[in-house]
Amino acid sequence: MRLICIPRWASARRCRALALLGGMAAVAGGRAGLAAQGASEPGDTLRQPPIVQNISRRPGIVEVEVTAAPASIPLLPGAAPAAVYAYNGTIPGPTIEVHEGDSVVIHFHNHLPEPTTVHWHGVHLPVDADGSPLYPIAPGGAHDYAFRVAQGSAGTYWYHPHPDARTTRQVALGLYGAIIVRPARDPLAGIPEKLLILSDNRLAPDGSVSFPDPASVQASVDMENGREGDRLFVNGQIMPRIVVPSGEVQRWRIVNASPARVYRLALTDQQLLHVGDDGGLFERPVEAADLVLANSERVEVLVRGQAPGSRSTLQDLPYDRYAPQTRPADWNSTHPLLALEYGAAGPLKAAPIPATLRVIPPVDTSHVFARRVIVLSQGLIDGKTMDMHRSDIRSRVGATEIWTIQNVVGMDHPFHLHGNHFQVLDRDGVAVPFRSWKDSVNVPRHSSLRLAVRFEDYPGKWMYHCHILDHEDEGMMAILELH
Ligand code: C2O
Ligand code: CU
Ligand code: CU
């Protein structure tokens, strides 16, 4: 076992704790696990979600317990505890860290008073481990989710409930958490990491999660726009702070766990160095002034500490995803998410950023099994709402397909496919500037895009849907059946 405890990266207390964890930390990835968990400077107020404990001691095996249960947690500083739902008692839920090739077993217990599932968003796994609405877990029930982490799938994923018609409510009540898949060799190893899970919520004056009266105007606006709240959280905290030593480079993994809000992320003082998205790293870093992050999408960015004593803010800039008739009055305002303070330069030299991160071969489209057009309209896919007993598309394992996703209405719909990664080829006929692996992609109003996908390994029924959770709950979802 090799544990490197460098004060810059980990507090002495954390080092001792990790030393005590001994073999477990080694199984969890040693140095890599440490980077994600403990890149914390004195002065940081941003908390990292706890890393779920691996109860297996065998190398290559990750075995964890996850329980969804009602809990009582204050959602605002100084507020009274609110009645929420939580995974293992925290919001966000604990981070699940695994490596490519690991065998993972998640012993899940449903202590909620209603049915739920856990969906491992973006993870390539067998259909009975997917936690789709086809596999509900009754109150008081349990399920072991078991899968093997695919090679080449290193990246940032997340988990959330996916029961029929109740997903918005369960996510709004606090059920969401991150999954980090690490490669055997990480081209960005040594760069301190932070996980930033973005969410928003609407709270009552007493600090509890507020849901509109189903007969109210707000309820119909929510059905149209998806549920948005005026409180913006990073890891469940309002406007936390990160201290970055001058000259240091940090790697941020950012997850949009909001039910409907689309973020347009920017730092006030520097460009973001965009190095990855849903399915992991790009081939090369790309500079970006801002990044649009639709629901359920993830990005990885690098951020550099500037002159000591100066500050910056991670902001959510205005992004107009709405139909004009339900566009919120304040859609055009900028929201601060996270404060940055630059500290004195540390003794460590910033790790060099490689010019090439990895190779992403294009999906081979020389033999295409089918080309399909999928039409998104308001609340509907191809003019229909979901029927759990209907398979909308039938195909087979091993097939490569090209799908055109067409949004024919006046608001954006983020499109998501379960279990299989795809590559976006072009948008409105214009080739995308670089390749990446995606499982969710925003389809702006009155636009279309093409994606290429190869169905690997796993037969069964896979959902594809709009990831505005209210739309998903209303049935803006369909089923791909693979034989
Ligand atoms: Cu993030 Cu079908 O889900
Ligand atoms: Cu999914
Ligand atoms: Cu939608």
CA 377 centroid distance within chain: 24
Q: Which segment of 20-29, 267-276, 324-333, 395-404 scores lowest on mean pLDDT?
A: 20-29
Domain extent listing, the chain: 13-182, 193-342, 370-482
Q: Which helix (H) or strand (E) holds 158?
A: strand 155-160
Tokens representing 326 are 């339900």
* 121: number of Cβ within 10 Å: 25
- Asked whether this chain's domains 13-182 and 370-482 adopt the same fold, the reply is yes
Q: Which segment of 39-48, 71-80, 382-391 scores lowest on mean pLDDT?
A: 39-48
206-256 tens-digit pLDDT: 999 999 999 999 999 999 999 999 999 999 999 999 999 999 999 999 999
The 3-state DSSP class for residue 195 equals strand
Which atom of ligand 1 is closest in space to residue 121's alpha carbon? Answer: 1
Ligand nearest to the CA of 124: 2
Cβ-based neighbours of 277, under 8 Å, separated by 6 or more? 297, 298, 299, 300, 436, 437, 438
- Relative to beta strand 155-160, strand 298-304 is unpaired
407-456 tens-digit pLDDT: 999 999 999 999 999 999 999 999 999 999 999 999 999 999 999 999 99
Tokens representing 378 are 């308001």
Q: Say yes or no: CB of residue 416 within 6 Å of ligand 1.
A: yes
Which atom of ligand 1 is closest in space to residue 160's alpha carbon? Answer: 1
Residue of 396, 403, 474 whose CA lies nearest to 441: 403
Measured in angstroms, how far is the CA atom of residue 472 from the centroid of ligand 2? 11
Q: Residue 358 is which amino acid?
A: R
Tokens representing 233 are 């959280």
Ligand nearest to the CA of 405: 3
Ligand nearest to the CA of 125: 2
pLDDT grade for 389, boundaries at 50, 70 and 90: very high
Nearest CA to ligand 1 atom 3: 121
Ion ligand 3: protein residues whose beta carbon lies under 5 Å: 413, 466, 468, 471
Residue 304 has pLDDT above 90, yes or no: yes
Separation of alpha carbons 282 and 154, rounded Å? 11
- Relative to beta strand 237-238, strand 231-234 is antiparallel
Residue of 106, 103, 75 whose CA lies nearest to 90: 75
Q: How far is CA 381 from CA 97, 215, 348, 392, 404, in A?
A: 34, 26, 53, 10, 13
Cβ contact 468:432 at 8 Å: no
Query: What would the CATH number be for the domain defined by 13-182?
Result: 2.60.40.420
Separation of alpha carbons 457 and 56, rounded Å? 27
Which atom of ligand 1 is closest in space to residue 158's alpha carbon? Answer: 1
pLDDT grade for 41, boundaries at 50, 70 and 90: confident
Q: Say yes or no: CB of residue 463 within 6 Å of ligand 1.
A: yes
Q: What is the side-by-side order of every strand in the sheet holding 142-148?
A: 82-87, 61-73, 103-110, 142-148
Residue 21 has pLDDT above 50, yes or no: no
User: 137: which DSSP letter?
Assistant: B
Separation of alpha carbons 412 and 292, rounded Å? 12
Q: Say yes or no: CB of residue 121 within 6 Å of ligand 1.
A: yes
Measured in angstroms, how far is the CA atom of residue 467 from the centroid of ligand 3? 6
The 3-state DSSP class for residue 31 equals helix
Domain 193-342 has CATH 2.60.40.420: yes
Q: Say yes or no: CB of residue 418 within 6 Å of ligand 1.
A: yes
What pLDDT was estimated at residue 38? 47
Percent of all residues in the chain with a pLDDT value above 70, rounded to a whole number: 92
Rounded to two decimals, what is the model's pTM?
Answer: 0.92
pLDDT grade for 470, boundaries at 50, 70 and 90: very high
pLDDT grade for 32, boundaries at 50, 70 and 90: very low
Separation of alpha carbons 40 and 9, rounded Å? 6
The 3-state DSSP class for residue 20 equals helix
pLDDT grade for 39, boundaries at 50, 70 and 90: low
Nearest CA to ligand 1 atom 1: 121
Measured in angstroms, how far is the CA atom of residue 474 from the centroid of ligand 3? 10
Q: Say yes or no: CB of residue 471 within 6 Å of ligand 1.
A: no
Measured in angstroms, how far is the CA atom of residue 378 from the centroid of ligand 3? 7
Report cis status (omega within 30 of 0) of the bond before 92.
yes
What pLDDT was estimated at residue 42? 83
Cβ-based neighbours of 392, under 8 Å, separated by 6 or more? 381, 382, 384, 478, 479, 480
pLDDT grade for 297, boundaries at 50, 70 and 90: very high
Q: Say yes or no: CB of residue 162 within 6 Å of ligand 1.
A: yes
Separation of alpha carbons 129 and 119, rounded Å? 8
Measured in angstroms, how far is the CA atom of residue 164 from the centroid of ligand 2? 14
pLDDT grade for 349, boundaries at 50, 70 and 90: confident
102-157 tens-digit pLDDT: 999 999 999 999 999 999 999 999 999 999 999 999 999 999 999 999 999 999 99
Q: What share of the chain is helix, strand, coil (3-state, %, to 5)?
A: 10, 40, 50
Cβ contact 269:259 at 8 Å: no
Looking at domain 370-482, its CATH architecture is Sandwich (2.60)
Average pLDDT, the chain: 92
Which atom of ligand 1 is closest in space to residue 440's alpha carbon? Answer: 1
Report cis status (omega within 30 of 0) of the bond before 59.
no
Cβ-based neighbours of 164, under 8 Å, separated by 6 or more? 115, 133, 136, 388
